[in-house]
Amino acid sequence: MSAPASALASIEEVRAKVEQTYLAWTRYRHFSQEQVDAVVEAVSGAARTHAARLAEMAVAETGYGNARDKLAKNMLAAETLPQRMRSMHTLGVLNEDREQGIVEIGEPMGVIAAILPTTNPTSTAIYKTLIALKSGNGIVLSPHPRARACTCETAALLAAAAEQAGAPEGIVGCIGGSTIESTTELMRHRRTAVILSTGGSGIVRAAYSSGKPAFGVGPGNVPVLVDVSADIGHALENIIRGKTFDYGTLCSSEQTVVAERSLRDRMLAEFRARKAHLCDAGQTAALERLLFTKDFAICPDCVGQPASKMARMAGFTVPDDTPVLLVELGGIGKEHPLSAEKLTTVLGLYFVEHFDAALAACEAVLHFGGLGHTCGIYSSDDQRTREYARRMPAFRVVANSPTSLGSTGATTNLFPAMTLGCGAVAGNSTSDNVGPLHLVNIKRLAYGVPSVAPAGEQMTREQVIGAVKRYLERRGMTPATVPLAHARGSATAGGAATTASPPATPVAVVDFVCEDDVRRAVRDSRKIFIGPKTIVTPAARDYANMHDALVMTEGPRPQGRLDSE
C-alpha cells in the first residue's frame, strides 16, 4: 500500500531541507570559534526578543501549560544557556597536555536531527539550535504535529538571526509538514550525523534504532523524599512551586512525595495552608480513570492542565486558586496508577514508617517509569542526603530545591538543558544534561614518547642523555633553560636561586645527572656540580630537591625550581 500524498510530500521536504543544511554546514564547519560565538550571540538575542510571544503561541497551539512559565523556559534556553556557553571552547584546540604530549581538537559532527516534544516546543527548539550552532553544526528541527506552528516560527526567527550574523543560509532548518514518515526519514537520512530526540518513549526508541548516533532521553517519574530533618514549610513550598511550574509538563516535575508517617499530619496541614486539595477516595478513583488509558498511557487532554480544570474533568470542583490535587497512595506500582508519571497538577503522597522504607519507596517510584532521570530530597542531614543520592537509580539528585527547575539548571548549577540523559539504566547513551560538547567529536594529536630499551638490553649513557633531551624539548624546554634546584642556602627569600660561590678547588661539572647519580651522591654525603647546559632527569631533580644535592657553579642566573612553575 502506497504512502499518502501528505507523507510523501513531507519526506521530500525532509530530503531537501537536510541537503540544504548539509551544504550550509560544509561552510559553517570552517568558522572560527569567534565567528561561531558571534552567531550564537545573535541567535540567542533574537530568541530573547521574541520569547514572550513564542510562549503565548505554544500555549495557544498545544493547550498545555501556561505562558508565564513557558516564557521562563524560553529564557532558560535563550539567556541562561548562552551565559554558560560563552567561555566554552568547542572548536579547534580544546586542551593541550604538554607533559603527556596530547593535543585535543574539537571537530563538529555535521547535521543534527532534532526531534521536538509538544510539551516544550519553543524552549526545546531554542535550546537545541543554540547547542548545535555553538558546536559548529547545522540543525534540522522536526516539530511535534500538535506544535508545528510555534516550533516553525521559532526556527524561522533563529535561522534569520543566524544568517544575519554571517552563518550560511540553511544552517537552521525546520520541517513544516512533519509526520511520522518524515521524522523517520530525517533520522535515517544519509546526511544526518546525530539525533537529538526528546519526546515519548516510542520516538526515543526509534531514534536509537535508526542506525545513527543518538541522544534520546527516557521518561521521568520523580520521587521526592521529605526527611524528618527538613524545614517542612520550605520543602512543601518548593514542591508546589516545582509541581505547578508550567502545570507539570516537565519530565522532571515532582510526581510522588514520600515521607515518614510521623510527619503526615503536619505535612497535610502545611499543604492545606498553601491551598492544596487532598482528594478523598472517590475523587482519587475518578482521577485514576481520567488520567490513564487502558494501556496505561497518559491521557493527552490531561497533560499540563491547572488543578481546577483537572478536578472538573474528573467530576468534582475545587477553588480556582487550588495549586495541586493531592492523592494519598496505598503503594507503588501498577496496582496504584497514580504513583506513575502524571505530567499535570496531580501529586501523589506516600507515607512510610521509617527512613529506610522511604528510600525503598523512592527507589520503587523510579523503577516504575523513571529510571535514570531525576529525584529530589529535602533534608538538613547531609549524611542522609548523600545516602539517598548514592542509592537512587537517577542521575540528577536535587537537594532542597524544586526538581523541575533544579534538574534543568534553573535553580542549581547543573548545565542548563532541556534534554536530560538517563544513562544506560534507561537505555540512554548519556546520563548528562546534554550540551554542545556532546555534539563535538574530539580528535587527539599524540606525540611519540622516548623509546625504552628492550628487556635485557642496557641503554648507553649517550642514549639516555638523548632520550631525556628529546623529552625535555617536547615540553618546550632546552638544557640551557631547565630550572634546577640548588644547594641549601642558595636561594633568596623570594625563592629565586643564585649561583653558588666558586669552590676553593677546581671541581668537575657534569653534563648529565640521573636519579642513581643523586642517590650515590646523597649516600656519600657529597654534592654534584652542574652547569647551565647540564641535563637533569625529572626523577633526579625531584630527589635532589629533597636533599639539596645539586650545585650550580657557572653560567647565567637560573630561573628557580621546575616544580614551582
Catalytic residues: 251
| 350's grid cell | 506516600
**Grid cell at residue 209:** 534504532
Strand order in the sheet with 92-97: 92-97, 102-108, 440-446
**Selection from 178, 210, 176, 181 nearest residue 193 by Cα:** 210
Contact 229, 380 (CB under 8 A): yes
Cα–Cα distance between 242 and 222 in angstroms, integer?
Answer: 11
Distance CA 154, CA 455 (A): 65
Helical (H) or strand (E) element with 214: strand 214-216
- Exposed e or buried b per residue across 109-120, where buried means at least 16 C-beta atoms within 10 angstroms of its C-beta: bbbbbbbbbbbb
Q: In what order do the strands lie in the sheet with 214-216?
A: 172-174, 138-142, 111-115, 192-197, 214-216
Give the Cβ contact number of residue 8 at 10 Å.
14
Could you give the CA distance from residue 102 to residue 219 in angstroms, rounded to a whole number? 39
Stated as kind and residue range, the H or E segment containing 444 is: strand 440-446
In the structure grid, which three cell numbers stand for residue 472, read together?
A: 625535555
Q: Residue type at 149?
A: A
Crossing angle between the packed helical segments 33-49 and 51-62, to the nearest 10 degrees:
60
What is the distance between the alpha carbons of residues 20 and 493, in angstroms, rounded to a whole number? 66
Cα–Cα dist 160/172, whole Å? 9
> In this structure, what C-alpha cell is assigned to residue 176?
513544516
Task: Name residues whose C-beta falls within 8 Å of residue 338's C-beta, 6 or more positions apart in sequence.
Answer: 284, 287, 288, 291, 327, 329, 346, 348
DSSP string covering 72-107, please?
HHHHIIIIIHHHHHTT---SEEEEEETTTTEEEEEE
Rounded Cα–Cα distance for residues 132 and 435 (Å): 9
